[in-house]
Amino acid sequence: MTDHKPEVLFVCVHNAGRSQMAAGWLQHLAGDRVSVRSAGSMPAEQINPAVRAAMAEVGIDLAQEVPKKLTTASVEAADVVITMGCGDACPIFPGKRYLDWELDDPAGQGIEAVRPIRDEIKARVEQLIGEIGPADDIRERVRARYAEAARSAGGGCCGGPSAELYRDGVFGVTLYDEVAPDDALQGSLGCGVPTQVADLAGGETVLDLGSGTGGDVLISARRVGPTGKVYGLDMTDEMLEQARANAERAGVHNVEFLKGYLEEIPLPDDSVDVALSNCVINLAADKRVVLAEAARVLKPGGRIAFSDVIAEETMPDDVRADMQEWTGCIAGALTESDFRQYLADAGFSGISITATHDVHAYAHAALITATLAGAPAR
Protein backbone atom coordinates (compact mmCIF):
# COMPACT_ATOMS: atom_id res chain seq x y z
CA MET A 1 0.00 0.00 0.00
CA THR A 2 2.83 2.39 0.72
CA ASP A 3 4.13 2.07 -2.83
CA HIS A 4 1.09 3.85 -4.24
CA LYS A 5 2.60 6.01 -7.00
CA PRO A 6 1.12 9.46 -7.18
CA GLU A 7 -0.38 10.02 -10.63
CA VAL A 8 -0.05 13.50 -12.07
CA LEU A 9 -1.94 14.79 -15.11
CA PHE A 10 -0.87 18.00 -16.85
CA VAL A 11 -3.55 19.65 -18.96
CA CYS A 12 -3.45 22.55 -21.41
CA VAL A 13 -5.54 23.37 -24.45
CA HIS A 14 -3.39 21.91 -27.26
CA ASN A 15 -1.06 19.53 -25.34
CA ALA A 16 1.64 20.78 -27.67
CA GLY A 17 3.81 22.94 -25.37
CA ARG A 18 3.46 23.65 -21.64
CA SER A 19 1.84 20.38 -20.57
CA GLN A 20 4.31 18.37 -22.67
CA MET A 21 7.26 20.21 -21.13
CA ALA A 22 5.88 19.69 -17.62
CA ALA A 23 5.28 15.97 -18.21
CA GLY A 24 8.78 15.65 -19.69
CA TRP A 25 10.39 17.37 -16.71
CA LEU A 26 8.43 15.36 -14.12
CA GLN A 27 9.28 12.05 -15.79
CA HIS A 28 12.92 13.09 -16.10
CA LEU A 29 13.29 14.34 -12.51
CA ALA A 30 11.10 11.86 -10.62
CA GLY A 31 11.62 8.77 -12.80
CA ASP A 32 9.37 5.85 -11.94
CA ARG A 33 8.40 7.26 -8.53
CA VAL A 34 5.41 8.96 -10.13
CA SER A 35 3.05 8.21 -13.01
CA VAL A 36 2.89 11.11 -15.43
CA ARG A 37 0.42 11.97 -18.16
CA SER A 38 -0.46 15.01 -20.21
CA ALA A 39 -3.43 15.85 -22.39
CA GLY A 40 -5.21 18.73 -24.09
CA SER A 41 -8.84 19.79 -24.35
CA MET A 42 -8.29 20.51 -28.09
CA PRO A 43 -5.11 18.62 -28.96
CA ALA A 44 -2.94 20.00 -31.76
CA GLU A 45 -1.62 17.79 -34.55
CA GLN A 46 1.94 17.85 -33.31
CA ILE A 47 4.15 19.24 -30.58
CA ASN A 48 5.46 22.77 -31.13
CA PRO A 49 8.92 22.27 -32.78
CA ALA A 50 10.47 25.05 -30.65
CA VAL A 51 9.31 23.18 -27.54
CA ARG A 52 10.87 19.95 -28.78
CA ALA A 53 14.12 21.79 -29.50
CA ALA A 54 14.21 23.57 -26.13
CA MET A 55 13.63 20.29 -24.27
CA ALA A 56 16.27 18.52 -26.39
CA GLU A 57 18.78 21.14 -25.18
CA VAL A 58 18.30 19.87 -21.61
CA GLY A 59 18.46 16.21 -22.64
CA ILE A 60 14.73 15.49 -22.70
CA ASP A 61 13.55 13.86 -25.90
CA LEU A 62 9.94 14.60 -26.84
CA ALA A 63 10.32 13.16 -30.38
CA GLN A 64 7.96 10.27 -29.69
CA GLU A 65 5.32 12.34 -27.90
CA VAL A 66 2.10 13.38 -29.60
CA PRO A 67 -0.70 15.64 -28.34
CA LYS A 68 -3.43 13.56 -26.68
CA LYS A 69 -7.10 14.23 -26.06
CA LEU A 70 -8.14 14.94 -22.49
CA THR A 71 -10.59 12.28 -21.30
CA THR A 72 -12.75 12.07 -18.20
CA ALA A 73 -11.05 8.74 -17.39
CA SER A 74 -7.59 10.32 -17.38
CA VAL A 75 -8.74 13.01 -14.92
CA GLU A 76 -10.46 10.42 -12.76
CA ALA A 77 -7.28 8.30 -12.57
CA ALA A 78 -5.08 11.21 -11.45
CA ASP A 79 -4.24 12.21 -7.87
CA VAL A 80 -3.07 15.67 -8.92
CA VAL A 81 -4.39 17.56 -11.96
CA ILE A 82 -2.40 20.58 -13.06
CA THR A 83 -4.10 22.86 -15.53
CA MET A 84 -2.37 25.49 -17.64
CA GLY A 85 -5.23 27.37 -19.18
CA CYS A 86 -7.78 24.68 -20.07
CA GLY A 87 -10.40 26.42 -17.92
CA ASP A 88 -13.87 24.93 -17.84
CA ALA A 89 -12.94 22.08 -20.19
CA CYS A 90 -11.25 20.21 -17.33
CA PRO A 91 -13.77 18.06 -15.43
CA ILE A 92 -13.76 18.42 -11.66
CA PHE A 93 -13.91 15.36 -9.41
CA PRO A 94 -14.03 15.46 -5.62
CA GLY A 95 -11.01 14.25 -3.67
CA LYS A 96 -8.40 15.30 -6.26
CA ARG A 97 -5.90 18.01 -5.94
CA TYR A 98 -6.26 20.68 -8.65
CA LEU A 99 -3.54 23.22 -9.28
CA ASP A 100 -3.48 25.90 -11.92
CA TRP A 101 -0.10 27.05 -13.18
CA GLU A 102 -0.08 30.43 -14.90
CA LEU A 103 2.58 30.23 -17.58
CA ASP A 104 3.25 32.05 -20.81
CA ASP A 105 2.03 30.16 -23.88
CA PRO A 106 4.86 29.01 -26.18
CA ALA A 107 2.46 28.69 -29.16
CA GLY A 108 3.93 30.51 -32.17
CA GLN A 109 7.10 31.52 -30.27
CA GLY A 110 10.73 30.87 -31.16
CA ILE A 111 13.17 28.93 -29.02
CA GLU A 112 14.48 32.07 -27.21
CA ALA A 113 10.98 32.70 -25.84
CA VAL A 114 10.42 29.02 -25.03
CA ARG A 115 13.59 28.60 -22.92
CA PRO A 116 12.45 30.75 -19.95
CA ILE A 117 9.05 29.00 -19.98
CA ARG A 118 10.86 25.64 -19.95
CA ASP A 119 13.01 26.75 -17.00
CA GLU A 120 10.06 28.07 -15.05
CA ILE A 121 8.23 24.79 -15.57
CA LYS A 122 11.29 22.92 -14.28
CA ALA A 123 11.29 24.97 -11.05
CA ARG A 124 7.57 24.32 -10.53
CA VAL A 125 8.01 20.60 -11.17
CA GLU A 126 10.86 20.40 -8.63
CA GLN A 127 8.61 22.03 -6.06
CA LEU A 128 5.81 19.62 -6.94
CA ILE A 129 8.08 16.61 -6.43
CA GLY A 130 8.98 17.82 -2.92
CA GLU A 131 5.30 18.13 -2.19
CA ILE A 132 3.76 14.96 -3.55
CA GLY A 133 6.19 12.39 -2.47
CA PRO A 134 7.05 9.73 -2.89
CA ALA A 135 5.08 8.71 0.17
CA ASP A 136 7.98 6.93 1.87
CA ASP A 137 10.18 10.06 1.71
CA ILE A 138 7.49 12.14 3.38
CA ARG A 139 7.03 9.52 6.09
CA GLU A 140 10.75 9.31 6.80
CA ARG A 141 11.01 13.09 7.12
CA VAL A 142 8.00 13.12 9.44
CA ARG A 143 9.53 10.30 11.52
CA ALA A 144 12.85 12.10 11.85
CA ARG A 145 11.11 15.27 12.96
CA TYR A 146 9.08 13.49 15.65
CA ALA A 147 12.06 11.46 16.86
CA GLU A 148 13.82 14.78 17.40
CA ALA A 149 10.73 16.22 19.11
CA ALA A 150 10.61 13.24 21.50
CA ARG A 151 14.31 13.62 22.29
CA SER A 152 13.93 17.33 22.97
CA ALA A 153 11.01 16.81 25.36
CA GLY A 154 8.22 17.81 23.10
CA GLY A 155 8.80 21.27 21.63
CA GLY A 156 8.65 21.97 17.96
CA CYS A 157 6.14 19.86 16.10
CA CYS A 158 2.75 21.02 14.93
CA GLY A 159 2.92 24.69 14.24
CA GLY A 160 6.69 24.89 14.07
CA PRO A 161 9.18 25.53 16.76
CA SER A 162 7.35 28.35 18.49
CA ALA A 163 6.99 27.53 22.17
CA GLU A 164 4.20 30.13 22.50
CA LEU A 165 1.89 27.98 20.38
CA TYR A 166 2.20 25.28 23.03
CA ARG A 167 1.71 27.72 25.92
CA ASP A 168 -1.22 29.60 24.40
CA GLY A 169 -3.69 26.79 23.90
CA VAL A 170 -2.98 26.25 20.20
CA PHE A 171 -1.18 22.91 20.53
CA GLY A 172 -0.30 20.54 23.35
CA VAL A 173 -1.20 19.99 26.98
CA THR A 174 -2.79 23.40 27.55
CA LEU A 175 -5.77 22.25 25.44
CA TYR A 176 -6.70 19.68 28.07
CA ASP A 177 -9.12 20.85 30.81
CA GLU A 178 -8.88 17.72 32.81
CA VAL A 179 -6.25 17.47 35.44
CA ALA A 180 -3.29 15.98 33.67
CA PRO A 181 -1.35 13.95 36.14
CA ASP A 182 0.35 11.94 33.43
CA ASP A 183 3.73 12.82 32.04
CA ALA A 184 2.23 11.50 28.82
CA LEU A 185 0.01 14.56 28.48
CA GLN A 186 2.90 16.93 29.22
CA GLY A 187 4.45 15.60 26.01
CA SER A 188 1.29 16.22 23.97
CA LEU A 189 1.79 17.42 20.43
CA GLY A 190 -1.91 17.34 19.70
CA CYS A 191 -4.20 20.05 18.39
CA GLY A 192 -7.31 19.13 20.37
CA VAL A 193 -8.80 16.55 22.71
CA PRO A 194 -10.33 13.71 20.67
CA THR A 195 -11.55 11.86 23.78
CA GLN A 196 -14.01 14.78 24.30
CA VAL A 197 -16.02 13.49 21.34
CA ALA A 198 -15.20 9.76 21.47
CA ASP A 199 -17.99 8.88 23.95
CA LEU A 200 -15.97 5.91 25.24
CA ALA A 201 -17.69 3.22 27.31
CA GLY A 202 -16.46 0.47 29.61
CA GLY A 203 -15.17 -2.63 27.81
CA GLU A 204 -14.47 -0.96 24.46
CA THR A 205 -11.35 -1.50 22.36
CA VAL A 206 -9.72 1.73 21.21
CA LEU A 207 -6.86 2.45 18.80
CA ASP A 208 -4.98 5.77 18.89
CA LEU A 209 -3.38 6.40 15.49
CA GLY A 210 -0.04 8.19 15.99
CA SER A 211 -0.12 7.97 19.78
CA GLY A 212 3.03 10.01 20.51
CA THR A 213 3.87 10.02 24.21
CA GLY A 214 0.53 8.35 25.00
CA GLY A 215 -1.66 11.02 26.66
CA ASP A 216 -4.87 10.18 24.79
CA VAL A 217 -4.19 6.46 25.24
CA LEU A 218 -4.04 6.84 29.03
CA ILE A 219 -7.22 8.96 29.17
CA SER A 220 -8.99 6.36 27.02
CA ALA A 221 -7.67 3.46 29.09
CA ARG A 222 -9.26 4.90 32.22
CA ARG A 223 -12.59 5.41 30.39
CA VAL A 224 -12.82 1.88 28.95
CA GLY A 225 -11.75 0.40 32.28
CA PRO A 226 -10.15 -2.96 33.04
CA THR A 227 -12.46 -4.85 30.67
CA GLY A 228 -11.46 -2.57 27.79
CA LYS A 229 -8.19 -2.21 25.94
CA VAL A 230 -6.39 0.67 24.26
CA TYR A 231 -3.74 0.36 21.56
CA GLY A 232 -1.39 3.20 20.73
CA LEU A 233 0.20 2.99 17.27
CA ASP A 234 3.26 4.99 16.31
CA MET A 235 6.17 4.58 13.89
CA THR A 236 8.69 6.53 15.97
CA ASP A 237 10.74 4.47 18.46
CA GLU A 238 11.51 7.49 20.63
CA MET A 239 7.77 8.19 21.04
CA LEU A 240 6.93 4.54 21.79
CA GLU A 241 9.64 4.39 24.43
CA GLN A 242 8.26 7.45 26.23
CA ALA A 243 4.66 6.25 25.91
CA ARG A 244 5.48 2.86 27.47
CA ALA A 245 7.40 4.51 30.32
CA ASN A 246 4.53 6.97 30.90
CA ALA A 247 1.95 4.14 31.09
CA GLU A 248 4.16 2.26 33.53
CA ARG A 249 4.58 5.32 35.75
CA ALA A 250 0.82 5.98 35.65
CA GLY A 251 0.12 2.35 36.63
CA VAL A 252 -2.18 1.88 33.61
CA HIS A 253 -2.01 -1.67 32.30
CA ASN A 254 -4.87 -2.12 29.82
CA VAL A 255 -2.76 -0.49 27.12
CA GLU A 256 -0.39 -1.72 24.45
CA PHE A 257 1.87 0.42 22.29
CA LEU A 258 2.48 -0.98 18.82
CA LYS A 259 5.21 0.01 16.42
CA GLY A 260 3.87 0.45 12.91
CA TYR A 261 2.47 2.69 10.24
CA LEU A 262 -0.95 4.24 9.92
CA GLU A 263 -0.87 2.99 6.35
CA GLU A 264 -0.44 -0.66 7.46
CA ILE A 265 -2.09 -0.97 10.86
CA PRO A 266 -0.78 -4.11 12.60
CA LEU A 267 -4.22 -5.23 13.84
CA PRO A 268 -6.75 -7.63 12.34
CA ASP A 269 -9.92 -6.63 10.49
CA ASP A 270 -12.99 -5.73 12.60
CA SER A 271 -11.07 -5.61 15.88
CA VAL A 272 -11.55 -2.06 17.22
CA ASP A 273 -14.62 -0.14 18.46
CA VAL A 274 -13.16 3.37 18.26
CA ALA A 275 -10.21 4.86 16.33
CA LEU A 276 -8.79 8.08 17.76
CA SER A 277 -6.12 10.34 16.43
CA ASN A 278 -4.75 13.68 17.48
CA CYS A 279 -3.05 15.86 14.89
CA VAL A 280 -1.73 12.96 12.83
CA ILE A 281 -3.87 12.34 9.72
CA ASN A 282 -2.55 15.57 8.19
CA LEU A 283 0.98 14.14 8.34
CA ALA A 284 0.20 11.13 6.17
CA ALA A 285 1.23 11.33 2.54
CA ASP A 286 -1.83 9.40 1.40
CA LYS A 287 -4.77 10.07 3.67
CA ARG A 288 -7.05 7.79 1.68
CA VAL A 289 -4.90 4.76 2.52
CA VAL A 290 -4.90 5.70 6.22
CA LEU A 291 -8.69 6.14 6.36
CA ALA A 292 -9.21 2.87 4.50
CA GLU A 293 -6.96 1.14 7.05
CA ALA A 294 -8.91 2.71 9.94
CA ALA A 295 -12.13 1.43 8.34
CA ARG A 296 -10.61 -2.04 7.93
CA VAL A 297 -9.70 -2.46 11.62
CA LEU A 298 -12.95 -0.94 12.92
CA LYS A 299 -15.82 -3.28 13.71
CA PRO A 300 -19.03 -2.68 11.74
CA GLY A 301 -20.68 0.36 13.29
CA GLY A 302 -17.35 1.43 14.82
CA ARG A 303 -16.53 5.10 15.07
CA ILE A 304 -13.72 7.61 14.73
CA ALA A 305 -12.92 10.59 16.93
CA PHE A 306 -10.11 12.69 15.51
CA SER A 307 -8.62 16.03 16.26
CA ASP A 308 -6.83 17.38 13.23
CA VAL A 309 -5.71 20.40 11.28
CA ILE A 310 -7.98 21.54 8.47
CA ALA A 311 -6.61 23.71 5.66
CA GLU A 312 -8.52 26.74 4.45
CA GLU A 313 -9.42 26.50 0.76
CA THR A 314 -7.28 29.62 0.26
CA MET A 315 -4.00 28.02 1.47
CA PRO A 316 -1.38 29.15 -1.08
CA ASP A 317 0.52 26.55 -3.07
CA ASP A 318 3.88 27.62 -1.64
CA VAL A 319 2.66 26.94 1.91
CA ARG A 320 1.33 23.54 0.79
CA ALA A 321 4.62 22.70 -0.84
CA ASP A 322 6.77 23.43 2.16
CA MET A 323 8.06 20.20 3.72
CA GLN A 324 9.04 21.99 6.93
CA GLU A 325 5.43 23.00 7.33
CA TRP A 326 4.32 19.51 6.32
CA THR A 327 6.16 17.92 9.22
CA GLY A 328 4.68 20.69 11.36
CA CYS A 329 1.09 19.64 10.45
CA ILE A 330 0.13 22.51 8.19
CA ALA A 331 1.04 21.81 4.59
CA GLY A 332 -0.36 18.26 4.58
CA ALA A 333 -3.75 19.22 5.99
CA LEU A 334 -6.90 18.46 4.02
CA THR A 335 -9.59 21.02 3.39
CA GLU A 336 -12.88 20.27 5.13
CA SER A 337 -14.56 19.25 1.88
CA ASP A 338 -11.73 16.83 1.00
CA PHE A 339 -11.75 15.37 4.52
CA ARG A 340 -15.50 14.72 4.24
CA GLN A 341 -15.09 13.17 0.81
CA TYR A 342 -12.20 10.91 1.86
CA LEU A 343 -14.15 9.73 4.92
CA ALA A 344 -17.22 9.01 2.81
CA ASP A 345 -15.06 7.14 0.27
CA ALA A 346 -13.66 4.99 3.09
CA GLY A 347 -17.22 4.01 4.14
CA PHE A 348 -17.94 6.49 6.95
CA SER A 349 -21.21 8.34 7.42
CA GLY A 350 -22.69 10.74 9.98
CA ILE A 351 -19.58 12.86 9.44
CA SER A 352 -19.22 15.87 11.75
CA ILE A 353 -16.34 18.35 11.49
CA THR A 354 -16.40 21.10 14.10
CA ALA A 355 -13.81 23.87 14.03
CA THR A 356 -12.22 24.54 17.43
CA HIS A 357 -9.48 27.16 17.03
CA ASP A 358 -7.10 28.73 14.51
CA VAL A 359 -3.62 27.22 14.35
CA HIS A 360 -2.18 29.15 11.40
CA ALA A 361 -3.13 31.92 8.99
CA TYR A 362 -4.45 29.27 6.60
CA ALA A 363 -5.51 26.45 8.91
CA HIS A 364 -7.63 25.66 11.94
CA ALA A 365 -8.04 22.69 14.28
CA ALA A 366 -11.24 20.65 14.27
CA LEU A 367 -12.87 17.72 16.02
CA ILE A 368 -14.01 15.08 13.56
CA THR A 369 -16.42 12.21 14.23
CA ALA A 370 -18.00 9.65 11.93
CA THR A 371 -19.40 6.13 12.03
CA LEU A 372 -18.64 3.13 9.87
CA ALA A 373 -21.61 1.48 8.20
CA GLY A 374 -22.91 -1.69 9.85
CA ALA A 375 -24.32 -2.84 13.14
CA PRO A 376 -23.62 -0.60 16.15
CA ALA A 377 -20.50 -1.71 17.96
CA ARG A 378 -22.30 -1.52 21.26
Nearer to ligand SAM, 103 or 243 (CB): 243
By C-alpha distance, which of 38, 7, 45, 33 is closest to 22?
38
Q: Is 242 in the site for ligand SAM (CB under 6 A)?
A: no
Region 166-185 residues binding ligand SAM, contact defined as CB under 6 A: none
Question: Is omega for the bond preceding 134 within 30 degrees of 0, making it cis?
Answer: yes
Nearer to ligand SAM, 61 or 241 (CB): 241
Q: Is 235 in the site for ligand SAM (CB under 6 A)?
A: yes
One of 75, 197, 207, 239 touching ligand SAM (CB under 6 A): 239
Which residues have CB under 8 Å from 182's CB, separation 6+?
A: 214, 215, 218, 246, 249, 250
Q: Point out which span in 72-80, 273-281, 295-303, 334-342 binds ligand SAM (CB under 6 A).
A: 273-281
**Least distance CB 11 / ligand SAM (angstroms):** 31
Q: Is 262 in the site for ligand SAM (CB under 6 A)?
A: yes
Q: Is 231 in the site for ligand SAM (CB under 6 A)?
A: no
**Least distance CB 91 / ligand SAM (angstroms):** 31
Nearer to ligand SAM, 27 or 211 (CB): 211
How far apart, in whole angstroms, are the C-alpha atoms of residue 365 and residue 127? 26
One of 117, 175, 284, 365 touching ligand SAM (CB under 6 A): 284
Q: Tell how strand 7-12 and strand 35-40 pair up.
A: parallel
Nearer to ligand SAM, 16 or 150 (CB): 150
**Least distance CB 260 / ligand SAM (angstroms):** 7
By C-alpha distance, which of 97, 74, 104, 93 is closest to 11?
74
One of 101, 257, 261, 362 touching ligand SAM (CB under 6 A): 261
- Beta strand segments in the chain, E: 7-12, 35-40, 80-83, 97-100, 205-209, 229-234, 255-259, 272-278, 298-311, 334-335, 348-360, 363-372
One of 157, 247, 295, 297 touching ligand SAM (CB under 6 A): 157
CA–CA–CA angle 86, 87, 90 (5° rounding): 70
> Chain-centre distance of CA 165, in angstroms?
22
One of 283, 291, 298, 368 touching ligand SAM (CB under 6 A): 283
189-to-150, 212, 257, 350 alpha-carbon distances in Å: 10, 8, 17, 27
Q: Is 21 in the site for ligand SAM (CB under 6 A)?
A: no
Annotated active-site residue 90? The verdict is yes
Instruction: Name the residue type at position 62.
Output: L
Helix (H) or strand (E) holding 269: none
One of 142, 230, 275, 315 touching ligand SAM (CB under 6 A): 142
Annotated active-site residue 191? The verdict is no
Residues in contact with ligand SAM, total (CB under 6 A)?
A: 26
How far apart, in whole angstroms, are the C-alpha atoms of residue 369 and residue 378? 17
Q: Point out which span in 35-43, 102-110, 255-263, 311-319 binds ligand SAM (CB under 6 A).
A: 255-263
One of 279, 309, 311, 321 touching ligand SAM (CB under 6 A): 279
CA–CA–CA angle 202, 177, 258 (5° rounding): 50
Q: Is 121 in the site for ligand SAM (CB under 6 A)?
A: no
Region 187-226 residues binding ligand SAM, contact defined as CB under 6 A: 188-190, 210-212, 215-216
How far apart, in whole angstroms, are the C-alpha atoms of residue 370 and residue 305? 7
310: three-class secondary structure by DSSP: strand
One of 117, 121, 158, 368 touching ligand SAM (CB under 6 A): 158
**Least distance CB 341 / ligand SAM (angstroms):** 21
How far apart, in whole angstroms, are the C-alpha atoms of residue 9 and residue 6? 10
- Binding interface with ligand SAM (CB under 6 A): 139, 142-143, 146, 157-158, 188-190, 210-212, 215-216, 234-236, 239, 261-263, 278-280, 283-284
Residues with a known catalytic role: 12, 86, 90
